[in-house]
Amino acid sequence: MFLQPGAGTARWNRIIDAGRALTETEFFGREIAAWKGSPQRLAQLDGERYYRNDQDILRRRRMAIGADGELKEVRNLPNNKIIDNQYALRVDQKVNYLLGKPVSFSCESEPHLKLLRARFGPGFQRTLKYIGEDALNGGIAWLYVYYDAAGALAFRRFPGYEVLPFWADDDHTQLDAAARLYRQEVWEGTVKKTIERVELYKPEGIYRYLLEGSTLIPDGSAGEYAPYLTVAGEHGPEAYAWERFPLIPFKYNKQEIPLLARVRSLQDGINAILSDFENNTQEDARNTILVLKDFDGENLGEFRQNLAAYGAVKIRSDGGVDTLTVTVNPENYKVIVELFKKALIENARGFDAKDERLSGSPNQMNIRSMYSDIDLDANGMETEFKAAFEQLLWFVHQDAKTKGLGDFSADPVTVVFDRDILLNESEAIQNCSASVGILSEETILEQHPWTKDAKTELARLKQERQAQQADSYTGAFSQNGQSRPNP
């Protein structure tokens, strides 16, 4: 389970040897500084930002052609900033579709199953849902396995934009090291400031630093080094490390591409169209143009101000005011927004809950057709998450073995993601009834829409049948409450 601190992989040693002019700490500092502003990390931050409703439309400025022919910002025109966050809706849709229901486990050993249910209870299920959200926003999320102060195995999640991985292979399945960068507010005397902390996860343990520019400074306040595990020995505490890296990646897809990369332009387009529509429906110099005839006494700015303040215009006897009005057709904007929303749903590989295929009494084929895109995306995400669970289960098994709870490493585990999909319940129940005698009771119960736990339902059925048999047996040997005489 545990190893004493040792050397890294051959690939890692080659990377370090390639920069012999740098120390290992200098190497990490420069790598972190370069990654901090990299396009990959900025895309991860943008995914989180867009999900939280902080989108580019909020920084939009109204521009017009100036006297010199160049675009200049115009501050006296309406500048509405409308956000219709279809992106966040698709993230929530995917997370709840795949992880909305608790993940379940299947294995042969009942004590093993009991252990898994205890380790992955409601608290972990909530953490897993947050990890799914982070993976969609950042392309990848991380789960850190550690022992808490009470000595219990615990899990902690890190979003993708906090972790710089140093992979041991090109497929990004094994780690040599990882650096976590995060900000923290601290007080220096009476002044509050924000500092950047770095945690370096290496095979032998965690090293803590402060990041200043591209320089890593040992963090004496938090302790520069901390082992993954400390065990009391004859001569005091002894540091140990896991045989495997306790930082597990949960990927959205193989390329670790955030969902926002697929739909950002469409989300920005929806926001721009809605904002332009509100701008154009308000009276301004673009949709109501005043034509002054033989008017004098004020400049145009004063004229506009007086008109807005008093609602009246003084004109000479032979003067006048006409208007040229630009008509705004709402249908044009409606068509464009609907096209953008449909394209966003398709590119995000989601589904439209208002799809016309759901009108009336849709059959299961129509429902499955509507879910086809999100099903394909969920299949890929489920594959990545199952691979992550395989790594995670190793730590759970090793912990159980060390604590004397049993050795379950040879008992295979199937991780089941119960997807939250609409069902035509009547049709599903009819199919279950028609399968009696063809399939086992357990298989039929697993497919029944009202079943939450097939094994529990089987146990209940068995108890009910035994009770019915007992009642039938008692009735056969009693009459009006009196026992029949023996023959």
> What are the pLDDT tens digits along the chain (487 aa)?
555 444 455 665 666 665 567 888 999 999 999 999 999 999 999 999 999 999 999 999 988 777 777 888 888 788 899 999 999 999 999 999 999 988 989 888 999 999 999 999 999 999 999 999 999 999 999 999 999 888 899 999 999 999 999 999 999 999 999 999 999 998 888 899 999 999 999 998 999 999 999 999 998 776 788 888 877 666 667 788 888 999 999 999 999 999 999 999 999 999 999 999 998 888 655 456 666 676 665 566 666 666 555 555 666 666 666 665 667 788 889 999 999 999 999 999 998 877 666 655 666 666 777 778 888 999 999 999 999 999 999 999 999 998 999 999 999 999 988 876 654 455 667 777 888 888 888 788 777 776 777 778 888 888 888 887 777 767 666 655 555 555 4
pLDDT at site 114: 93
pLDDT at site 5: 47
Using the 8-state DSSP alphabet, how is residue 286 labeled? T
Cβ neighbours for 133, distance < 8 A, ≥ 6 positions apart = 51, 91, 92, 95
pLDDT at site 13: 63
- How far does the chain reach from its first CA to its final CA, in angstroms? 70
Burial of 435 (0-12, 13-18, 19+ CB in 10 A): middle
Burial of 403 (0-12, 13-18, 19+ CB in 10 A): exposed
pLDDT at site 311: 53
pLDDT at site 7: 46
**CA–CA distance, 120 with 155 (Å, rounded to integer):** 10
**CA–CA distance, 169 with 166 (Å, rounded to integer):** 9
* CA 133 vs CA 12, 126, 141, 265: distances in Å: 31, 11, 9, 21
pLDDT at site 452: 72
Task: Compute and round to an integer the Cα radius of gyration of the chain.
Answer: 33
Token match 């497929």: residue? 171
Angle, in degrees to the nearest 10, between helices 260-281 and 86-99? 140
Using the 8-state DSSP alphabet, how is residue 220 labeled? T
- Check: CB of residue 205 under 8 Å from CB of residue 14: no
Using the 8-state DSSP alphabet, how is residue 436 labeled? B
Token match 């900025």: residue? 42
Return contacts of 80-84, CB within 8 angstroms, 24+ apart: 80/275, 80/278, 80/279, 80/282, 81/57, 81/271, 81/275, 82/57, 82/271, 82/274, 82/275, 82/278, 83/53, 83/55, 83/57, 83/58, 83/271, 84/270, 84/271, 84/274, 84/337
pLDDT at site 161: 97
Q: DSSP assignment of 347-412, as one string?
A: HTT---TT-GGGSSS--HHHHHHHTHHHHHHHHHHHHHHHHHHHHHHHHHHHHHHHTTS---TTS-
By C-alpha distance, which of 362, 359, 377 is closest to 419? 377
pLDDT at site 435: 83
Beta bridge partners of 225: 207
